[in-house]
Structure 1
């Protein structure tokens, strides 16, 4: 099988869509039989020489490795196969995905092309913007004049004409910006009216031919913009400063296209394969951006996904709180039962003195029961105390345990002045791991890093789960120069981890040694400052303060 991608592997949209395809095909197509090509059209969209050489390369390469089926992602690869597929791969079926505007006439001529249109959700996002921000008077849609941007800009102008004829919407001005340099776009965003918003359609290059990077330029644009930036492409908008919108998930889109490819490989005729009209668009938002622009969360369409929403104290410690409440209720029940029993015993003693011997036997038995219950309560209390000082995910001591134990280290230091170092370790790009591979994969990374730290450190060293992707490390009897060496050994061990399909895991560490008169807060601040130095210096390194 041959998979032809429109863009490059560093483009998050392409990475996610390709991963969805690979995950579905893993049991059907052996890894060595899945050939993947990247057209890199975000950089070479208008380069005819490049396209000519690309055709020659594919023709030469796949004379030897002739594919049984071709898959394409996004518009450029699709159009490339429409125009050149018969010459390059005569008679071979093509399954496409991520296509915004399929060419139905050309598809009918080929007869062996099928797939899922990604479509576009411009109108849905425009309506949703007015739902979230009803005072909006101006919506600026951003695109360019390359293939996809040109098509989306054309569609946006058609919608603009419809809105101007609609008495319920004509009070909102729709604009399409596709002629700007990136610095000009920044400048316009800084001076945008308070009742305006931006809707990102598709930008590959500015009018000067400068490549537009969503990972680099979009965060700068959203930082400079005084108004929200919406979009419909989740992977490249959310997490880079975009507020949100009705968004398509490239991973799911790729999976659905791969399922169609499997049916084709199984010999199902193309006319018998049912495909959806277009990809699914779901409401997806960034909590930080919603708060930044004061948007009421109650206005979000249901069901909406909101990332970066803060976790409440109850959600974070639900098990501990519920266990404590259950224990408290149990103790109340026990106390109530004991109170009732005592009252009954007193009443029985007064009225039935003649049965004193029998009653004494009953009391002794119940006293024994109480002793057993008290032992059970003490055991349960001991377990709860252990849970209170242990991180449930990694099994490491938690922040509460660190705060208690480090006091003892400081007291010892102030007595004998033996060397003592404290380090803070932060897993690099952890949010990207969660966003790309899911929180379960993030949990696996946390557990693996915690286990590696325990195995690498000395028996008398201590490591704690400090919070999120941070770990606190205490190094007793460690001089200033050696503490950095120990931390470098830790970063090396972490970089050698192999976790599922995530790839290389790296970490940055800030370390500092105690000096006379130091408080825990002071050395923690120095270690944290050193950590930021390590992060800002390129990550995967150690900085000492």
Structure 2
């Protein structure tokens, strides 16, 4: 060994030791990152670990078991992959989400990560006797709230005669279906519940489910248990198929998985919160990393289920809000004027009360001094001066209120981050363009621009860098477009561009210029910033919705064709 090599080794070895001073955490998710349940559960874990573990030392794996639930070849390759990766990056602790990852670690944890502590979350079916043999596993039991949801349905819709529980024959769906059949047997022997028929459907294609939902009787409701695949093996997407099911269904669809039911047009139910579960599991992990013995941590904490509902669905099915439990959470509920401006209104009321008190005191003083004529005149002058001042103050306050109202109105139509008009402003302006188009049929183009791989930018460089990218793209669009063109922050990483008096060929050229300019941006040392655009022109008979659908479809084609390009719809 040369002297230089020895010196380098002596210098580099402490750095390696220092890098391992911070713990390495491996997070194994049962499903895929686009699944809202997994996304929120993971976010809860990250938000807690961020103060204890650097982003670089939090390794996240996705088993994708909703789409590969019965694939043994995939399962074997997954084992080999984890063994290969984490021989080099050995974790200090493993966190699992949902049943598949938990069962995977029960079966393979000793061989993959011997003696490493494991924290589980989101486990619906937990066998305590199994944990008695596994002294290195603790966590949060999610359980399942089938019976609680059945009771809730009868409270919310007491006229219900039939409850159809939806599941499948794979994994969690199979186990929940078995539990549902046990509950059904109990209800059949209960005189107070025999008037309600419980059915379990687990053998159907998605199209058959749609057809049955369209013909459901008015005294029927659906309760979503767990569906991964239909009987044809078609993957059931809560994001795609559930909104279609609820739209076609003549009756409400209840469920217990908050973020994937109530977020996609389900009516509601006794629901749990994946984000809270993730936080709870991460808090246990932090305790273990801080040196708390596993024997001092309760391994059977249960997730909280609470009643949550979608206001729009409650109104759609004309459900009396008085039937809901007192502690219910209702999303999408209209906000009253008082709720919107509580502080401002309360301040005005307080000010008026203050004025009334002042006037009352002054009136009392006038009555006390009425006997002294020479003082009364002086007092009247003082009072007049005070009233004038108060009137001036009121005028000033009214002007302030009017100015505040204008500011609030401006904020309502402006995106705070980019300074661009927002989605609400776009809806208002485009409707005006459509009205004009229907009068003179002058060319009008609409384009939807989406920043490519924006989530990767946020994950890699941080949300502040993502915000800088959004602002830079918005400023670029404003600078490149003509004075009569309009650009809006449509939402997330999307922008809406309106091109009046622009034919199809020229709109394509304009959008090409936009993508070229964006690809030249340099923000926060980000390697590459590109955007995809779908653009289309209005045709006779178009509505806002149809033109957006064509532009969105063209954007989808641009994304699937390699991104950083323009497609005309």
TM over 0.5: yes
Change (3 A) 1:132 1:269: same
Query: Match for residue 382 of structure 1?
Result: 399
Equivalent of 2:103 in 74, 79, 82: 79
2:66 matched to 1:46? Answer: no
Query: TM-score under structure 2 normalisation?
Result: 0.71
1:315 shift after superposition: 2.6
Conserved? CA contact 1:497–1:504, under 8 Å: no
Structure 2 counterparts to residues 425-444 of structure 1, below 5 A: none
Structure 2 counterparts to residues 487-506 of structure 1, below 5 A: none
1:28 shift after superposition: 1.4
Change (3 A) 1:493 1:241: farther
Equivalent of 2:234 in 210, 221, 238: 210
Q: In the aligned structure 2, how far is the partner of 1:463 from the partner of 1:328? A: 44
1:229 shift after superposition: 0.6
Q: Deviations over 1:141-174 (max 9, x none)?
A: 1111111111111111111111111111122111
Equivalent of 1:193 in 217, 222, 232: 217
Conserved? CA contact 1:534–1:542, under 8 Å: no
Q: What SS class does the counterpart of residue 382 from structure 1 fall into?
A: helix
Change (3 A) 1:330 1:485: farther
Structure 2 counterparts to residues 44-443 of structure 1, below 5 A: 44-319=68-343, 321-322=345-346, 359=378, 363=381, 367-390=384-407, 391=410
Conserved? CA contact 1:456–1:490, under 8 Å: no
1:259 shift after superposition: 0.9
Query: Match for residue 413 of structure 1?
Result: none
Q: Deviations over 1:198-227 (max 9, x none)?
A: 110000011111111001111111111111
Q: Deviations over 1:414-438 (max 9, x none)?
A: xxxxxx999999999xxxx9xxxxx
Q: In the aligned structure 1, how far is the partner of 2:309 from the partner of 2:225? A: 17
Q: In the aligned structure 1, how far is the partner of 2:355 from the partner of 2:446? A: 41
Q: What SS class does the counterpart of residue 82 from structure 1 fall into?
A: helix
1:76 shift after superposition: 0.7
Q: What SS class does the counterpart of residue 377 from structure 1 fall into?
A: helix
Q: In the aligned structure 2, how far is the partner of 1:210 from the partner of 1:526? A: 34
Q: In the aligned structure 2, how far is the partner of 1:200 from the partner of 1:193? A: 17
Conserved? CA contact 1:424–1:471, under 8 Å: no
1:327 shift after superposition: 6.2
1:371 shift after superposition: 4.4
**Long gaps (5+) in structure 2:** 1-24, 434-441, 456-462, 560-564
Query: TM-score under structure 1 normalisation?
Result: 0.74
Question: In the comparison of the two structures, how many residue pairs are matched?
Answer: 490
1:338 shift after superposition: 12
More off after superposition, 231-240 vs 528-537 = 528-537
More off after superposition, 124-133 vs 316-325 = 316-325
Query: Match for residue 23 of structure 1?
Result: 47
**Long gaps (5+) in structure 1:** 411-419, 434-440, 513-524
Report the aligned-residue RMSD. 5.1
Conserved? CA contact 1:509–1:531, under 8 Å: no
1:186 shift after superposition: 1.1
Q: What SS class does the counterpart of residue 251 from structure 2 fall into?
A: coil
1:73 shift after superposition: 0.8
Q: In the aligned structure 2, how far is the partner of 1:337 from the partner of 1:425? A: 63
Change (3 A) 1:321 1:479: farther
Q: In the aligned structure 1, how far is the partner of 2:170 from the partner of 2:545? A: 46
Equivalent of 1:34 in 49, 54, 58: 58
1:96 shift after superposition: 0.8
Q: Deviations over 1:313-333 (max 9, x none)?
A: 333344555555566667777
